[in-house]
C-alpha cells in the first residue's frame, strides 16, 4: 500500500515542484516504486519530468472529472525511474467544474484507491493555493511535506496551512499528519536563514528534516532539460541533498515500522490479543 504524501505550501516558489521531481527521482534510484502526481495547472512537475504537458492524451484532470481511471492516465517515461500522472492548464477547468459537485474533495482519494498497491510512495505536487485541488490532495494523503524557504516571510501563511491540515484531519481524513518540514534554497552565508531555520526546529522539532536543500543553480537548470537533477548532474550539491533526503525518508519509515511493530507486540502481551472494541489502536498527531 503506497504512502501518499502531498507536497504543499500555498506560498509560491518555495521549492514544492523541485522537491517533488527530485525526491521522486532519488527514491526511484533506490528502486522504490514511486508515482508523482502533478496537481498544479502550471504543469511544472510534468515538464520537469520530461513529459510534454501540451500533448497529453489523458491527464489528472480527466481522472478528477471521472472520465478515465488513474491507471489509464499514468505515463511511464523511459528516462526516469518513477511514473508520472501528468497535469496541465486543464486542471483550472477541472477546479471550476469540481466546485459545483458533491463529494468534490474526495475525487483524488477515490481515484487512487485502485493503484495504491502498485506503488510504495505517491507524491502529489500541489498548486500554490489552498483550493479544491490542494484539498483533494489532503483528503487522499497520509501526510503533508511542507517545503519552507528560510527567509523573512517564510512563516507568513504557515498558520492558515496548519489550520487547513487540522480541519481536514478532524473531518474527512483523520490519518492526515505533517510528514515533515523541509528547508529549501538554504544559503548558509545568510544569517536570517539560520534564524528562520532555528525557529522552525524550535516549533516543529523532529518534524524538520535533518537534510537541508541548498540553493544550487544546477537544480534550477535541470527542469529546462526535462530531467531530475540525478540525471542532469548527479554530483551537484543539489543532487546529493535530494539523495540524502530520500535516504532520511526511508530510514524514518523503517524506524516508524519498527516502533509500530513493537507497540503491537506490547499491546498483545498486555491485553492477550487484539485491542478491545472502541479501544484506540494508535493516535494521530499533526
Ligand atoms: N534549491 C534550489 N536552488 C536554486 N534554485 C531553486 C532551488 N529550488 C527551487 N529553485 C528554483 O526556484 C524556482 C521556484 O521553485 P519551484 O518551482 O520548485 O517552487 P514551487 O513552490 O513549486 O513554485 P509554485 O508555487 O509556483 O508551484 C524555480 O525556478 C526553481 O528552479
Ligand atoms: Mg510548483
58: left (phi over 0), alpha (psi -120 to 50) or beta: beta
Residues contacting residue 224 through CB under 8 Å, at least 6 positions apart: none
> Which residue's C-alpha comes closest to atom 20 of ligand 1?
13
| pLDDT greater than 50 at residue 202 | yes
The 10s digit of each residue's pLDDT in 27-46 is 999 999 999 999 999 999 99
Lowest mean pLDDT among 37-46, 212-221, 260-269: 260-269
Q: Does some domain include residue 286?
A: no
Q: Does some domain include residue 100?
A: yes
Instruction: Name the pairing type of β-strands 83-85 and 208-214.
Output: unpaired
Q: Please tell me which residue, 156 or 237, carries the higher pLDDT value.
A: 237
The predicted structure's pLDDT at residue 277:
44
Q: Which residues line ligand 1 (CB under 6 A)?
A: 12-18, 40, 42, 44, 128, 184-185, 213, 215-216, 219-220, 223, 238
Distance CA 178, CA 30 (A): 24
| pLDDT greater than 90 at residue 51 | yes
- Kindly state the cell numbers that stand for 124: 502529489
Q: Does some domain include residue 126?
A: yes
CA angle 107, 17, 121 (to 5 degrees): 60
Q: Does some domain include residue 285?
A: no
The predicted structure's pLDDT at residue 284:
36
| pLDDT greater than 70 at residue 273 | no
Domain count, the chain: 1
The predicted structure's pLDDT at residue 262:
87
Question: Which atom of ligand 1 sits closest to the CA of residue 215?
Answer: 3
Q: Work out the angle between the directed axes of helices 132-140 and 158-170 (0-180°, nearest 10).
A: 50
pLDDT class of 147 with cuts at 50, 70, 90: very high
Residues contacting residue 28 through CB under 8 Å, at least 6 positions apart: 34, 80, 81, 82
> Which residue's C-alpha comes closest to atom 5 of ligand 1?
220
Q: Does some domain include residue 51?
A: yes
Q: Label residue 43 exposed, middle or buried (CB < 10 Å: 0-12, 13-18, 19+).
A: buried
Mean pLDDT confidence for 156-185: 94
Mean pLDDT confidence for 14-20: 97
Distance CA 124, CA 45 (A): 10
- Kindly state the cell numbers that stand for 169: 484531519
Q: Tally Cβ neighbours within 10 Å of residue 254.
A: 10
Q: Does some domain include residue 284?
A: no
Range of 120's domain?
3-269
Question: Which atom of ligand 1 sits closest to the CA of residue 213?
Answer: 1
Lowest mean pLDDT among 10-14, 81-85, 96-100, 142-146: 96-100
Q: What is the Å distance from ligand 1's center to 219 Cα? A: 8
Q: Does some domain include residue 57?
A: yes
Q: Does some domain include residue 30?
A: yes
Distance CA 150, CA 11 (A): 13
Mean pLDDT confidence for 184-190: 92
The predicted structure's pLDDT at residue 272:
63
Amino acid at each position: 500500500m503506497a504512502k501518499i504524501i502531498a507536497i504543499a505550501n500555498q506560498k509560491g516558489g518555495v521549492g514544492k515542484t523541485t522537491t517533488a521531481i527530485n525526491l521522486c527521482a532519488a527514491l526511484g534510484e533506490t528502486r522504490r516504486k514511486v508515482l508523482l502526481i502533478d496537481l498544479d495547472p502550471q504543469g511544472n512537475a510534468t515538464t520537469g519530468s520530461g513529459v510534454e504537458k501540451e500533448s497529453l492524451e489523458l491527464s489528472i484532470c480527466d481522472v478528477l472529472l471521472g472520465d478515465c481511471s488513474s491507471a489509464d492516465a499514468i505515463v511511464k517515461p523511459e528516462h526516469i525511474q518513477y511514473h508520472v500522472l501528468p497535469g496541465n492548464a486543464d486542471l483550472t477547468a477541472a477546479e471550476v467544474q469540481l466546485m459545483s459537485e458533491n463529494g468534490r474533495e474526495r475525487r483524488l482519494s477515490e481515484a487512487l484507491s485502485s493503484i495504491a498497491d502498485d506503488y510504495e510512495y505517491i507524491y502529489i505536487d500541489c498548486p500554490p493555493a489552498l483550493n479544491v485541488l490542494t484539498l483533494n490532495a489532503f483528503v487522499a494523503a497520509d501526510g503533508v511535506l511542507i517545503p519552507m524557504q528560510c527567509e523573512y516571510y517564510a512563516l507568513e501563511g504557515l498558520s492558515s496551512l496548519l489550520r487547513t491540515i487540522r480541519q481536514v484531519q478532524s473531518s474527512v481524513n483523520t490519518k492526515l499528519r505533517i510528514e515533515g518540514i523541509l528547508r529549501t534554497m538554504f544559503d548558509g552565508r545568510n544569517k536570517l536563514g539560520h534564524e528562520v531555520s532555528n525557529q522552525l526546529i524550535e516549533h516543529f522539532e523532529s518534524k524538520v528534516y535533518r537534510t537541508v536543500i541548498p540553493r544550487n543553480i544546477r537544480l534550477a537548470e535541470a527542469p529546462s532539460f526535462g530531467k531530475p537533477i540525478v540525471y542532469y548532474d548527479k554530483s551537484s550539491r543539489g543532487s546529493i541533498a535530494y539523495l540524502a533526503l530520500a535516504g532520511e525518508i526511508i530510514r524514518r519509515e523503517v524506524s516508524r515500522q519498527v516502533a509500530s511493530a513493537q507497540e503491537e507486540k506490547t499491546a498483545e502481551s498486555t491485553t492477550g490479543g487484539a485491542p478491545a472494541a472502541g479501544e484506540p489502536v494508535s493516535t494521530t498527531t499533526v
